[in-house]
Amino acid sequence: MNNPRKHPMSITHLSDLLPISTKYQGKHENSRGLPELCLVKTEDTEPFWFNLDGHAMMVGPTGSGKSYGLCAIMAFFYRYPNAQVFAFDKGGSLKTTSMAFEGKYIELSEHVIQPLRNIDKKQDFDWAVDWINLLLKGRLDDQVGNIKNSIVDSMRSLKRRPEKERTLSGFMNFTSKEIREVLSHYKGSTIDGGTENNIVGRDWLCFEMGSMFENNSEIAVPVLLYLFYMIEKRLKKGVPTLIVLDEVWLYLENTLFAQRIRLWLKTLRKLWGYVVFATQEIDDLQDSGIYTSLENSTHTEIWLPNKKAKKDEISKFYKRAGLTNAEIGQISIKAPKQNYLIKQPEGSRWIQFGGGALTKSIFGCEHTDFPINKGMN
């Protein structure tokens, strides 16, 4: 019996009608089996399953929504079981979110830490010897062998003292005059004292670094090395850990930090560590000596609107980063503070984190503008 509704069709014609591609919608879970970081909407109001499956880079000029995006990622990441969030802030942009989630926000220029407190443990003892050696680097290099032995001997003497006395000043009491003269520069500083170990037992820590870099950049080196070390000790498989570096150019300017970040990107992923670094200008990254490592280790790129993106002196940096002319054109016309271009190996999509008035007030404003922040303090 002839059925006109079942008219014969050739495979060639059928293939012309069949869909062979679809818009990228993200992933429901990452390679660790963790569910999507958050479900957001695209510019077409379609759902997008945003996920971090490794490290991420966020690039956008001032006022484009960088702080809002970082805060959103931090907040959504914290919902994972046993999650840890460590952030390095500049200018207080991450303070409101940190306090809203009952995290510890530390203004390091006004705080004192005690890096030598736990030297009775071998791992901390060995690290402390290398740390002191770093403080002396470039000043007593002509006696390198003797210096290392002297540091070890002095550290052994300090190890016998009570915890509260294991300070940099306490160390200086057991060392030679030459070493003491060099370390005297740090006496009474941020790294010389403290009784509270602010790392232990804290799942959300945010450090304000801006004023320290501006007022005493030399002290930032030993401080960051200590904080990086303490974070490394907290990393382990099965414990999702987010490390946010806002204004990453501050760290890339220092060769020591740049190499540490390069090492982190290579090794932390094995221990469930996710590094998210943000900067205002892509050339800050490309001019660093580790840009290739940053590029190769980054799974997710997050590009924010920039109305100057099509200018020749700026577009060349975007092109070097692998963006197409069409993507650069979109970056130049998208509305700031709400649109984010997500580029991953599987695909690209413009998304919006959205949120109501309360969410936007927590994620999207400076902490001084947040009405309930005084109560939190």
What does pLDDT average to in each consecutive run of 10 residues of the chain (377 residues)? 68 70 88 93 94 94 94 96 95 93 88 91 96 84 72 96 94 92 89 70 90 83 90 92 92 81 84 93 81 88 96 92 95 95 96 86 62 47
Domain shared by 162 and 211, yes or no: no
Q: Is there a single domain that holds both residue 146 and residue 181?
A: yes
Q: Are residues 204 and 299 in the same domain?
A: yes
Q: Of 186, 216, 234, which one is at a domain's C-terminal end?
A: 186
Supply the pLDDT for residue 356: 82
Distances in whole angstroms, Cα of residue 156 to Cα of each of 95, 150, 151, 166, 170: 39, 10, 9, 11, 12
Domain span at 104: 38-111+198-376
Residue 21 domain-assigned (yes or no): no
> Residue 77 and residue 376: Cα distance in Å, rounded?
22
What is the C-alpha separation between 215 and 218, in angstroms, rounded? 9
Residues 280 and 368 in one domain: yes
- Tell me the two tokens of residue 243: 């490390």
Q: Taken in order 19, 37, 243, 69, is the CA torsion positive or negative?
A: positive
**Quick one: 307 and 237 in the same domain?**
yes
Q: Are 109 and 215 in contact (CB under 8 A)?
A: yes
Structure confidence at residue 264 (pLDDT) = 82
Quote the number of domains for the chain.
Answer: 2
Q: What is the Cα–Cα distance from 218 to 226, expressed in whole angstroms?
A: 14
